[in-house]
Structure 1
Amino acid sequence: MTEFRSPDEEIEGFRARVLVALLFILACFAVLGGRFYYLQVERHEYLHTRAEDNRIALLPVVPNRGQIVDRNGVPLARNYAAYTLEINPSRVRRVDETIDALSEIIDIQPRDRRRFRKILEESRNFDSVPIRTRLTDEEVARFVGQRYRFPGVEVQARLFRDYPLGEVGAHLIGYIGRINERDLQRIEERGQTANYRGSDYIGKAGLELTYEDALHGTTGFEQVEVNAGGRAVRLLARQPSTPGNDLQLTLDIELQKVAEAAFGTRRGALVAIDPNTGGVLALVSMPGYDPNLFVDGISTQDWQALNDSPDHPMLNRAIYSTYPPGSTFKPFMALAGLEAGKRQINQRMPDPGFFMFGGHRFMDHRARGTVDMHESIVVSSNTYYYQLANDLGIDGIAGFMRQFGLGTRTGIDLPGEAEGVLPSPEWKRTRFRQPEQQRWYGGETISVGIGQGYNAYTLLQLANATAALANGGVLFRPHLVGHLVNAQTDERIPVAAEPVRQIPMRAENIAAVRRAMVEVNKSGTGARAFAGAAYGVAGKTGTAQVFSLRGQRYEEGKVAERLRDHSVFVAFAPAEAPTIAMAVLVENGGFGSQAAAPIARQVLDFHLLGTRPNQPAPQDEEGEE
């Protein structure tokens, strides 16, 4: 039998259900209201920032890198704009498939793929990685027409570094390259991470490395509104970047060209300095290389060719390689003897063609009877300096030569300078481990006196010492940068000449040595190279021994080419008021008068007379030390 409920009971049940539903709805609204309050009030600042981050992007504005120009404003390193096709790996799921598709509309070579992979492996924190650089206008147009197919791929306008003279001056200018992991670590250690946001390149060698901070500039930023696809749709604010400073060098690039051409295919180095300021006029290391190869990342083939070459073109022979100075050491030895009172200017010494010490005969090229200081330099008497070295002693020699900066880094504004070796008993004790090797022997002093033995200096040190001799005893810190130039205001900030010391020497002793060096190129060992010169030049030839013949007679034709003696020459001119001092070395070039002196003649002819040779300097078949 069906049970019927009263209307009052039905109404009460309905009311209870409505109340429960109402309470449930109110509870839901309370939760929503609480969440709304939490998001809109408690978390307002955080969520507002997140929303703005999604809507607004902060993009770095990379500064223009400063240019490098010579003393006359000739550009040696400059920038130019070009388009680059870049892939953002974080926004591309299948990179290889994307590159394959891109290659259908833009020429992408295997070397481009290899460079892309190398950059991707070596770099971090890059928003995009280039797959092709220096796109043509036609290639840009083809890509833009199909850009919708390639999310995460963009065409960017970039500044590229260019070295318009190629190999000329490469070792001093250096080059830039893409920032790698090691560079990033150094940037972080210097606290410059923010200033390198968006930067792809950094100085790797030469002046590009030394003056990286000055050349790089200060990074700016753009605040832009972006759409859901990450593309900028509106510029909101902009803080412009500050371009890097330009470098104006003391270098005369035309003199540099003449000096490099004078070597021809020969290996060696040359350094020319203004003796009145320490400014470097030319710095040559032969053979050279093209720094443009490194800008986008050097190919494996090019790197192997440079790295495996027996001529070592990447080696800066002017500041890193060290060589015995040979007889170019003798003018400094003569000064040491005069200053120490061990010799007088006109004092004649026996020259039988040899010097006996400890039962060993140190040989000379010929017997001359007797010679004075002047003649000893002009004819390059070894016997005179064997005796003088014995009289001065190794401590006397080392103490005097140290004042000229020999065996000490000069502090030039280039990385990678070698220290060299100024021999002394103290040096030998620190150099060798065995007690018998640490002992200094008197016979070693005799060899040091003619620029052989343990003597080993850079061409830069030898040129700087010659400059100090030319200017009366002021030793400068050699430098390549003459001015920093503000790219916005053109304000020129000079790099002041820095005298390291005034070497205490008597004027009459300096004058006597200089007269002898002038005579070297009139009637002595340098006379053939400077026959008919329209200016006075002081110089000294030298022959740097590559290996010991152990008492045997040296015959050039019977010695392997790379074991032959080095040809060395130092000079300054005009002799009466020098404006240039230099050191030249030709590896395995023989006597100093054979190879090095003719190169110096061409360089001095151009510097003083404006005469430009039309072929490399000849190598004299006959010559003297």
Structure 2
Amino acid sequence: MLKRPNTLKNSEQELRIFRVRALLAVLVVFVLACLLTSRLVYLQIVQHDMYSTRSENNRVRVEPLPPNRGLIYDRNGVLLAENRPTYNLTLVRERVDNLDETLALLVDLLELPEEEIEAFNVRSRQRQRPFQPALLTSDLSEEQIARLAVNRHRLPGVEIEAQPLRYYPDAEVMAHALGYVGRINAEEMETLDAGRYAGTHFIGKTGIERFYEEELHGQAGLRKVETNARGRVLRELGRTDPVPGANLTLTIDKSMQMLAYELLDGRRGSIVAIVPATGEILAMVSTPGFDSNQFVTGIDVDSYRGLQEDLDLPLFNRAIRGHYPPGSTIKPFLALAGLVEGVITPDSTINDPGYYQLPNDSRRYRNWLRWGHGRVDMERSLAVSNNTYYYTLAHDLGIDNLHEQMSNFGFGQRVAHDVQGESTALMPSRDWKRARFNQPWYPGETLSVGIGQGYWQITPLQLASATATLANRGHWVKPRLARQIGDTPVPRDLPNTLNDIQLANDSWWDRVFSGMEKVMSGREGTARRTGVGLEYRMGGKSGTAQVFSLGQDQRYNADELAERLRDHALFMAFAPLDDPQIAVSVIVENAGGGSTHAAHLARAMTDAWLLKDDAPDVEEVREVLEEDDANVEGN
């Protein structure tokens, strides 16, 4: 038999293998421990500040506190613009996991109509500063708030915040004077101070709200809050309170503003009333108006389209942007220009055959009274509104002197201090026509300007401002809407005010005023019906602005024209003559002659300011208007 080899264990060899393996294991564990320790050292010591900040940010959140917008009052302390509590829906994109899913869920929960969904999605993606909330929608209903609250766990980054919302109690009446606030858009976001407007979603868009945005807005604050893992606020850790905006007191008198709006009675037109001594605007109305509250939260597409397509242009501020030929309302200013330039004296007369002809020109420029007024001096020319006198005067003055003198009264310029969007309108000149049409100025065009027609265009605010300067005997006080900002009065002497108008003889003012008084109370005055029963001395001047030109031998017949082709009615006035306290301009589109319709409205405004409670009410004025219109038609 074969002998088997010895298979006993080699203990020494096994022990050596074990030691090697154990050493390798210890070495691996040591290396891993060293790696873990070094990583811990790196995280806990080297990167301590960064991770400590991240951890703190997960627990502590800084929230902006928008300021309350300043309130707006009329001169008597009546509230015109207030802040009402409301709930807004905001979204911080950086905290949203899936924006598309979140927006789809919000649209479903809010039950938004189809036409609002696109705008809702656009607002969610509007460019914002990092971690700044974007306003998705305002003025949430209680039902919407309840749905959002129940689904809060599904909406990270979405918050419901309570915030005051602008509200205008008399929106339609005050819309054009106050303007309105609206959502901050992407372009505005780029230019606004990030700290001051943190958490703010609305900004002044038009009117007083825009002009005094800096004063009304205030300064944003902030607060630090501790939150849990779901973002719910556990406690407040610190706070810097916001600084509210300054309250604004206007020169507007709400009762005068309401009266002007009611007097226009829905017709297209404007009334502006100013205190001559201070430049305070008592009323500045453009009709028809619109509900400015619709623009605060965002007007819907159909409503906005309806306003844009309305033929009466309710969004158009006629008081400061409407361009109208001034008609005969500018004759007192032209009379003064003639006196200043030495072209006429207060006693200069002409013989009016019913027309004027330029030398070597067969065309006849007709007076409104076709058979003429006979012998006419300056005062009578104002009382009867004689065109021939002013054709002659304009021709003798020339367009250069005419342009210079009328510019001194503010025509062709922005005249007010804080009226946002005011137009310069147009005071024509040779240079203007050459630049605009590349044509020379013709003598016949000077005659048209001489009776407030042709290229000359004014705004109702310009006419009221010029009337106030006339009432002040040439002393310029810049019109303004703000009376007081916070506790600080707005100064009467404002920058860029035009120079006072100096006359060589102060009695010339009296002679022009006398002619204007005869308009109201003279036997031949064009507005003598309006002047019946006056309890104070009032000077005025009517005007009729042509909407289209008549041919050489055509006669104007309102009954044969479409309503929108009829003449505009204008009137300017101030009272009392010896101590002017109010100057008024009235323009009623397509209402015919200014000596009837517009004159009665101007009288009603001066009555209301001077007689207070004894003034006739709106219904009485309307009855007088109807009676006067019937008399005019009968004649």
The answer, yes or no, to whether TM exceeds 0.5 is yes
Asked if 1:174 corresponds to 2:170, the answer is no
The 2-side partners of 1:496 and 1:348 are apart by: 41
- Which of 498, 503, 509 is the aligned partner of 1:500? 498
1:389-400 aligned within 5 A = 389-400=394-405
User: What's the offset of the Cα at 1:163?
Assistant: 0.5
Paired residues of 1:484 and 1:494 also in contact (CA < 8 A): yes
Distance change in 2, residues 1:576/1:2 (3 Å): farther
Paired residues of 1:112 and 1:132 also in contact (CA < 8 A): no
The 2-side partners of 1:454 and 1:465 are apart by: 19
Asked if 1:59 corresponds to 2:63, the answer is yes
Letter of the 2:163 partner, please give it. Answer: R
The 2-side partners of 1:557 and 1:355 are apart by: 27
- Which of 358, 362, 374 is the aligned partner of 1:359? 362
1:402 maps to what in 2? 407
**Superposed CA offset, 1:239-292 (max 9, x none):** 000001111001101000001100112111111111111111100101100111
Letter of the 2:501 partner, please give it. Answer: I
RMSD: 2.4
User: What's the offset of the Cα at 1:143?
Assistant: 5.8
1:29 maps to what in 2? 33
Letter of the 2:109 partner, please give it. Answer: L
- Classify the secondary structure of the residue corresponding to 1:53: helix
The 1-side partners of 2:512 and 2:125 are apart by: 60
User: What's the offset of the Cα at 1:100?
Assistant: 6.7
**Superposed CA offset, 1:430-463 (max 9, x none):** 2124xxxx20111111111111111101111111
The 1-side partners of 2:611 and 2:416 are apart by: 31
- Which of 578, 586, 589 is the aligned partner of 1:587? 589
User: What's the offset of the Cα at 1:559?
Assistant: 1.7
User: What's the offset of the Cα at 1:44?
Assistant: 1.9
- Classify the secondary structure of the residue corresponding to 2:365: strand
Distance change in 2, residues 1:131/1:340 (3 Å): closer
**Superposed CA offset, 1:316-367 (max 9, x none):** 0010111111001110010001111111111222222111113321111231
1:488 maps to what in 2? none
- Classify the secondary structure of the residue corresponding to 1:119: helix
Letter of the 2:563 partner, please give it. Answer: E
Letter of the 2:577 partner, please give it. Answer: A
User: What's the offset of the Cα at 1:98?
Assistant: 2.6
Distance change in 2, residues 1:443/1:101 (3 Å): closer
Letter of the 1:502 partner, please give it. Answer: D
The 2-side partners of 1:97 and 1:185 are apart by: 28
1:520 maps to what in 2? 519
Letter of the 1:218 partner, please give it. Answer: Q
Deviates more, 1:54-63 or 1:88-97: 88-97
- Which of 45, 52, 60 is the aligned partner of 1:48? 52
The 2-side partners of 1:101 and 1:274 are apart by: 55
2:334 maps to what in 1? 333
1:249-328 aligned within 5 A = 249-328=250-329
The 1-side partners of 2:45 and 2:136 are apart by: 44
1:535 maps to what in 2? 536
1:605 maps to what in 2? 607
Letter of the 1:471 partner, please give it. Answer: N
Letter of the 1:27 partner, please give it. Answer: V
Distance change in 2, residues 1:453/1:141 (3 Å): closer
1:83 maps to what in 2? 87
1:135 maps to what in 2? 141
1:39 maps to what in 2? 43
**Superposed CA offset, 1:559-578 (max 9, x none):** 22111111010000111101
1:556 maps to what in 2? 558
User: What's the offset of the Cα at 1:115?
Assistant: 5.7
Paired residues of 2:343 and 2:396 also in contact (CA < 8 A): yes
Letter of the 1:361 partner, please give it. Answer: R
Q: How many aligned residue pairs are there?
A: 607
The 2-side partners of 1:559 and 1:101 are apart by: 55
* Structure-1-length-normalised TM-score: 0.92
Distance change in 2, residues 1:623/1:338 (3 Å): farther
Paired residues of 1:87 and 1:131 also in contact (CA < 8 A): no
Distance change in 2, residues 1:255/1:131 (3 Å): closer
1:428 maps to what in 2? 433
Distance change in 2, residues 1:321/1:122 (3 Å): farther
- Classify the secondary structure of the residue corresponding to 1:350: strand
Distance change in 2, residues 1:590/1:451 (3 Å): same
Paired residues of 1:474 and 1:500 also in contact (CA < 8 A): no
Distance change in 2, residues 1:612/1:225 (3 Å): farther
Where do 5+ consecutive residues of structure 2 fail to align?
none
Letter of the 2:478 partner, please give it. Answer: R
- Classify the secondary structure of the residue corresponding to 2:262: helix
Distance change in 2, residues 1:320/1:268 (3 Å): same
Where do 5+ consecutive residues of structure 1 fail to align?
486-490
- Classify the secondary structure of the residue corresponding to 1:514: helix
The 1-side partners of 2:107 and 2:237 are apart by: 37
2:448 maps to what in 1? 447
- Classify the secondary structure of the residue corresponding to 1:501: coil
2:509 maps to what in 1? 510
- Classify the secondary structure of the residue corresponding to 1:319: helix
- Classify the secondary structure of the residue corresponding to 1:547: coil
Paired residues of 2:307 and 2:314 also in contact (CA < 8 A): yes
Deviates more, 1:124-133 or 1:274-283: 124-133
User: What's the offset of the Cα at 1:129?
Assistant: 4.3
2:569 maps to what in 1? 567
Paired residues of 1:88 and 1:129 also in contact (CA < 8 A): no
**Superposed CA offset, 1:183-207 (max 9, x none):** 22342xxxx1222221111111111
The 1-side partners of 2:216 and 2:564 are apart by: 40
Letter of the 1:484 partner, please give it. Answer: I
The 1-side partners of 2:498 and 2:527 are apart by: 31
**Superposed CA offset, 1:24-75 (max 9, x none):** 2222222222222222222222222222122211100011011111001111
Letter of the 2:469 partner, please give it. Answer: A
Distance change in 2, residues 1:493/1:541 (3 Å): closer
Asked if 1:98 corresponds to 2:96, the answer is no
The 1-side partners of 2:331 and 2:73 are apart by: 38
User: What's the offset of the Cα at 1:599?
Assistant: 0.8
* Structure-2-length-normalised TM-score: 0.90
The 2-side partners of 1:196 and 1:480 are apart by: 26
Letter of the 1:501 partner, please give it. Answer: N
